[in-house]
Amino acid sequence: MTYSLPGDIYFERLLTSLLFDSQIETNKTPKEYADRGYHTQKAELKSIRWQYCTDIKRIISELKLAISMLRNIPEGQYLQQVGSTRTEYCLFIISAFLDTLHQMKDKLMRLLYVLNYEEYKKYMSEAANIKDLKLNKAKQLDISGRSKIEIDLEEWNQEAKNEIGTALRIRTGHHHNLSKIHYHKDLQDSQMGAILSQETSNILTEEYKQKLAKMSDESFYKWQGEYVRKLSITLDKALQNLNNIAKKLLESDLDIPKTMDIYMREFPELFIVVPPAEQS
């Protein structure tokens, strides 16, 4: 399965925009201050905006990696060397995916909170208090098209009846309460088959041992395949949501460069100028 942002990659545009915007603002810092490692408050804000966006890009890569690792389980010899079973390996990957998805939610909420320059002082005083940066805080952003962005933000509500909300609820249960990931019927059948085969190996016929091993393998790979499918769908939904939000941010009245003109003006050495005759 290929994970991609639909249509134009608005998130990549947003990332590029915030990167150049941060560098432009940093370049405005007087040299005597920059040489001492000081920057203006606005330059610091724009650097934080870009860093949060970069963090989200890193998280996307980690989520894709988790699914790839779940799909391609290492050989038994490797698992024996690290003292793990295939079930423990998969459960670790699923847990990592869920935690990383929750991390994406946190980074997205914080990015939205600091996109508005007027909110920056509040951010500086409240950044350490994660309770102030939850979903309801992000939805209070005073930007054009806010109501439309609120619809996208609701998909990150843990109570939402969608793939993202379901994954976040499972993560909360797995992280704080009794985990239900372990109690999937196919996983239980797989583990039961393995246990019976080990505990009664001295009294079972070879034919029945093979049947137990086959049942264990079939149940395990069915469980594994189902989670690969579910996590893949969840990631695609998260990427679509992220792209929708990025598109609306770029269309909003926030202080975000909307075109390449500002980059070409500030950093002409980075762009190749094509003569008019060649452009046609």
For the segment 127-144, what is each residue's pLDDT rounded down to a tens digit? 444 444 455 555 555 554
Quick check: is 102 in a domain? yes
Quick check: is 65 in a domain? yes
Give the SS3 label for residue 254.
coil
Q: Cα-Cα-Cα-Cα dihedral of 173, 137, 101, 48, to 10°?
A: -140
Quick check: is 1 in a domain? no
Quick check: is 260 in a domain? yes
Total domain count, the chain? 1
Quick check: is 143 in a domain? yes
Quick check: is 276 in a domain? no
Reference 238, options 138, 146, 137, 166; nearest CA is 166
Quick check: is 23 in a domain? yes
Domain that holds residue 112: 10-265
Give the SS3 label for residue 28.
coil
Per-residue pLDDT of the chain (280 residues; tens, 9 = 90+): 544 444 448 899 899 889 888 888 877 776 766 666 666 777 888 888 899 999 999 999 999 999 999 999 887 788 888 888 888 888 899 999 999 999 999 999 888 878 766 665 565 555 444 444 455 555 555 554 455 787 888 899 888 899 999 999 989 887 787 777 776 666 666 666 556 555 555 666 777 777 777 877 888 888 889 999 999 999 999 999 999 999 888 887 777 776 665 656 666 655 555 555 555 4
Quick check: is 270 in a domain? no
